[in-house]
Structure 1
Amino acid sequence: MSTPPLPSGASAVKRTDHRWQALAVCLVAGFMTLLDVSIVNVALPSVRSGLHLSDSGVQWVLSGYSLAFGLALVPAGRLGDARSRRAVFMAGLAAFTAASAVAGAAQNEAWLVAARLAQGLAGGVLVPQVSGFIQQLFQGPERGRAFGLLGAAIGISTAVGPLLGGLLIAAFGAGEGWRWVFYVNLPIGVAALPLAYRLLPPPRLPAVRHRDFDPVGVLLLGAATLLLLLPFVQEDWHGGGKWLLVLAAAVLYAAFAGWELRYGRRREPVVRLSLFRARSYSLGVLLSLVYFAGFTAVFFIFSLYLQEGQHYSALLSGLSITPFAVGSGAAAAFGGRVVHRYGRPLVTAGLALVALGLTAAGAAVHLWSGPHVGWVTALPLLVSGVGSGLVIAPNQTLTLSEVPVSRAGSAGGVLQTAQRIGSAVGVAAVGSVFFSSLTDHPGDWAGGFQRGLAVALGFVLLALLLALVDVLRRER
């Protein structure tokens, strides 16, 4: 794969001398947007009482963000590839900061839901530019290190959200503390914007012309993704009819693929389907989808088990999940450094550790469920976190290793959309088993957690099987 030449003059110096500082700006902004997926969970009781949210309102405050986030990823990544990653990144960051301020000032349900949708769209605009910048600024082992730091940000943001949310509510009170879950983004965004302009590389001559933006492909992909995610994020829709939307989504995805193949013969499509011919990319996207269905759902049911079943405060519940965040952050940075040496077997080892840790966590809850269960699950969650750190960052490095820099944003957007779809499917499947168990066995929070955890573990084991098959095929 050829590497595009560096820009000349001051731009070349900026790229060479400030790329790690530029990466730091990207990671801080990306961390902020991903944190908002999990941090709101612990603030919901405070939000619900403060704004008198309906059940549907609670659902949209949670899932509306993820839905809007997933819809924006691929088109925004494509826009950054075609025009200017820096401009798209800064627009997303500014919009996310403003939407956070609007959410914190919300006075009623509709106001907060609209602000959360705006936050999600802005986050989806910003995040694919991060992987695009990593592809653009780094090569070889350094690219692995950069993706390792991105993986650490992803893993930590998922696990540390409940802890940070609990700290903010404890500091500012149950009545108004939820507003600071959103206001905390303001100083970060304001500080990051001028740094982004100064440190991120300016646009080069775009590889894709503006008239080739492929609006039909964008609309087909957006409609298909919306129909696919809606039945999973809108949990108060009852009955089997909602699953017809999944069939409609499959039809639209097929139409999208057909259109992209046709459009790609003449112009640059929103997603170049030839990317999937590279086994590293196709397997990495599939593995990411399945793995995120397993690991993100664990925190959802574990927080409910601790707070509702064991009467933990939001802060103590967040502290109980911290070992996972610590293990994930440390292992992701390490995994990014060594992925070029070990390749897919490193991801396989990480998945095995995650499966081992989750199994041990389920056993710990079965044997020692009670007020001190947060202590006995600490070591299993640490092991799972170490494993997760060896999965997310190395898999992202391997998945994008054969992607041309000119398509880094759209390819990264597809990968991140798979992660969002996996998270939505996993939370719906694991949550359904968890709540059904509580309906059948009222008060048996430990049993509900174990049954839900078994479903999450099934997703992780499926991801492990995919990785093992790939390793064995490569050896043969």
Structure 2
Amino acid sequence: MTGIQRAILVVVLVPVFMSLLSISSINVVLPSVQASLDAPTSQIQWVLSGYTLAFGVLLVAGGRAGDTLGRGKLFVAGLGLFGLGSLIAGLALNGPMLIVARFITGFGSGLLNPQTVGFIQQFFDGPRRARAFASFGSVVGVSVAIGPVLGGGLIALLGPDWGWRWTFLVNVPIAVAAIYFAYRNFPTSAWQRYVPEGVTDEARTKPDLDPIGTITFTLGALLVMWTFLELDKGGIYFAMLPVGLLILTWWVWWERRYKRRGGSPMVDMNLFTNRAYRNGTLLIGLFFTGSTSVWVTVAIFLQTGHGISALVAALVGLPSAFATSITSQIAGRYVLKTGRAMVAWGMSVTLTALGSSILVVIGVQLWDWPIWWLILTLSLMGAAQGFIISPNQTLSLIEVPAHVSGVAGGVMQTGQRVGTSIGTALITSMLFGLAAAYSWNWAFVGAFGLIMLMVALAMVVAIVDIVGTRRAQAAVPQGHEAK
């Protein structure tokens, strides 16, 4: 990589780590937050839901705005909102103030995250792009596991009143530093709209944000995600799902119509005619529906089911995180040679690790095996994920033009966030239901069984993509290249 490429990668990945850390660390500190602010359970739920909703619904709109107005501008704006929200959260005097802060922080994350994909697509190509996405995958894997450790460690070090506040306040100087280094290191082209060669002067001077499409998609995605975040309440929340899906269906019609009439739609539906992108987006959405609930399940199982402290339970995930960071770098070197077969292989190993974890817990239930064998099986899962997340991103976006890569990345990340919301709601509901009816050990077995089902479905999509790719290659006459 060149010096400029390294600088861009560091500047964009540190805030991504920070934003994902805000998701993974919050669960550990919530009891301290509730006690410190004397907040009712309903407000604590919105501390969780507010960030998730704000983050998820802005990803596509943020990606589109970055493609249209300049990624550097949206990246810095997102950092500013994230830092501001973190500052307010750390100084919150009551529950409502913390909820508002979490919404602001989520909006910031929604703006800055899709710019990362856009920057990598714009400033990297070939093997360098694969290695950049490998670093992105390492950041994702480590942030998920390190967040609970950070939250538990700060509470242990600073006490329950100030410990949870510093899980937010630590983001403020990082955001300020990232803004400074963005202005210092980003090239001029990062602040300008990226327009490919051959585009008319009129298109260069008249950016089109497709406001109707943007508002419609945001509303539809909000209702779908909100349904699963409030799944346990039933009633009107169940009605939001069909309404949200209906709105998204209308949005697809609108986007097609908008393009036919000469506009530049928020999401060009031609993106989904690209087999690699279409299958990769579906695949990773299914995978996140299952895999992101692993650590929530493990944390609840160890703490509630076996009386293990939050900090020790969080430490169980560290070997897995480090394994992910290592294998992501290995995968980045070979993904362009192996293709989607690497992703399918990673999923097969993930299924082995999940099945082995189930076997360990059955052994705990029936034969008094040590629960700590889970560290080994979960580490295997972490190693396998390094061959899934970043390689899939590389392969999915390999043929996506740089000028729409922000919105393409936003669509993929929205699918991941929706999958996470659905999976967390369904899998934790199963976990608590089985625990009440049987035992925590059997509840773990059931929850991990459902996770295995989602990973298996994702693996089927990967295999379908591999078969389709090979058939397309076989159909091309010798001496010709596939277009």
TM-score category, normalised to shorter length: over 0.9
Matched letter for residue 304 of structure 1: I
Report what 1:28 is aligned to.
Answer: 14
Give per-residue Cα distances to partners, 1:169-202, cap 9 Å, x unaligned: 1111123211111011122112211111111233
Report what 2:42 is aligned to.
Answer: 56
Contact conserved, 2:68 with 2:193, CA < 8 A, in 1?
A: no
| d(CA) in 1 for partners of 2:436, 2:158 | 35
Partner of 1:175: helix, strand, or coil? helix
Contact conserved, 1:69 with 1:123, CA < 8 A, in 2?
A: yes
Match of 2:181 among 192, 195, 200: 195
1:329 pairs with 2:315:
no
- What is the percentage of aligned positions where both structures have the same residue? 39
1:143 pairs with 2:129:
yes
C-alpha change, 1:24 and 1:433, in structure 2 (3 Å) is: same
Q: How does 1:349-428 map to 2 (within 5 A)?
A: 349-368=345-364, 373=370, 375-428=372-425
Give per-residue Cα distances to partners, 1:387-433, cap 9 Å, x unaligned: 11110000000111111110011111001000000100100110110
Contact conserved, 1:56 with 1:236, CA < 8 A, in 2?
A: no
Report what 1:298 is aligned to.
Answer: 294
C-alpha change, 1:400 and 1:177, in structure 2 (3 Å) is: same
Task: Give 1:277 deviation, angstroms.
Answer: 0.2
The runs of 5 or more residues in structure 2 that have no matched partner are: 196-202, 472-483
Contact conserved, 1:73 with 1:128, CA < 8 A, in 2?
A: yes
Matched letter for residue 250 of structure 2: A
Match of 1:98 among 59, 66, 84: 84
- Measured on the aligned residues, the alpha-carbon RMSD in Å equals 1.7
Report what 2:475 is aligned to.
Answer: none
Give per-residue Cα distances to partners, 1:224-243, cap 9 Å, x unaligned: 1011011111244234x532
Match of 2:341 among 338, 345, 366: 345
Contact conserved, 2:72 with 2:192, CA < 8 A, in 1?
A: no
1:278 pairs with 2:264:
no
| d(CA) in 1 for partners of 2:404, 2:156 | 44
Report what 1:253 is aligned to.
Answer: 248
Q: How does 1:8-19 map to 2 (within 5 A)?
A: 17-19=3-5
| d(CA) in 2 for partners of 1:456, 1:151 | 20
Task: Give 1:206 deviation, angstroms.
Answer: 4.3
- The two structures have a TM-score, normalised by structure 1, of 0.93
Task: Give 1:204 deviation, angstroms.
Answer: 3.7
Match of 2:224 among 221, 228, 241: 228
Larger mean CA deviation between 193-202 and 79-88 belongs to 193-202
Partner of 1:53: helix, strand, or coil? coil
Give per-residue Cα distances to partners, 1:363-396, cap 9 Å, x unaligned: 1122126998552111111110011111000000
Report what 1:12 is aligned to.
Answer: none
Task: Give 1:46 deviation, angstroms.
Answer: 0.7
Contact conserved, 2:350 with 2:381, CA < 8 A, in 1?
A: yes
Match of 1:215 among 211, 218, 241: 211
1:448 pairs with 2:434:
no
Aligned residue pairs, count: 459
1:264 pairs with 2:250:
no
Matched letter for residue 214 of structure 2: V
Report what 1:86 is aligned to.
Answer: 72
Report what 1:237 is aligned to.
Answer: 233
Partner of 1:255: helix, strand, or coil? helix
Contact conserved, 2:223 with 2:241, CA < 8 A, in 1?
A: yes
Report what 1:9 is aligned to.
Answer: none
Partner of 1:401: helix, strand, or coil? coil
Partner of 1:106: helix, strand, or coil? coil
Contact conserved, 1:429 with 1:455, CA < 8 A, in 2?
A: no
Give per-residue Cα distances to partners, 1:23-72, cap 9 Å, x unaligned: 01111011100111110010011111111222211211112111110111
Larger mean CA deviation between 391-400 and 189-198 belongs to 189-198
Give per-residue Cα distances to partners, 1:205-260, cap 9 Å, x unaligned: 54365551100000110011011011111244234x53222111121111111111
Partner of 1:78: helix, strand, or coil? helix
Contact conserved, 1:86 with 1:201, CA < 8 A, in 2?
A: no
Contact conserved, 2:230 with 2:237, CA < 8 A, in 1?
A: no
| d(CA) in 2 for partners of 1:475, 1:408 | 25
1:69 pairs with 2:65:
no
Contact conserved, 1:46 with 1:178, CA < 8 A, in 2?
A: yes
Task: Give 1:439 deviation, angstroms.
Answer: 2.4
1:112 pairs with 2:98:
yes
Partner of 1:212: helix, strand, or coil? coil
Match of 2:108 among 122, 138, 150: 122
Report what 2:432 is aligned to.
Answer: 435
Contact conserved, 1:81 with 1:409, CA < 8 A, in 2?
A: yes
| d(CA) in 1 for partners of 2:80, 2:237 | 36
Report what 1:40 is aligned to.
Answer: 26
| d(CA) in 2 for partners of 1:105, 1:351 | 42
Task: Give 1:342 deviation, angstroms.
Answer: 0.4
Report what 1:3 is aligned to.
Answer: none
Partner of 1:312: helix, strand, or coil? coil
C-alpha change, 1:165 and 1:201, in structure 2 (3 Å) is: same
| d(CA) in 1 for partners of 2:464, 2:121 | 27
| d(CA) in 1 for partners of 2:457, 2:443 | 22
| d(CA) in 1 for partners of 2:249, 2:47 | 31
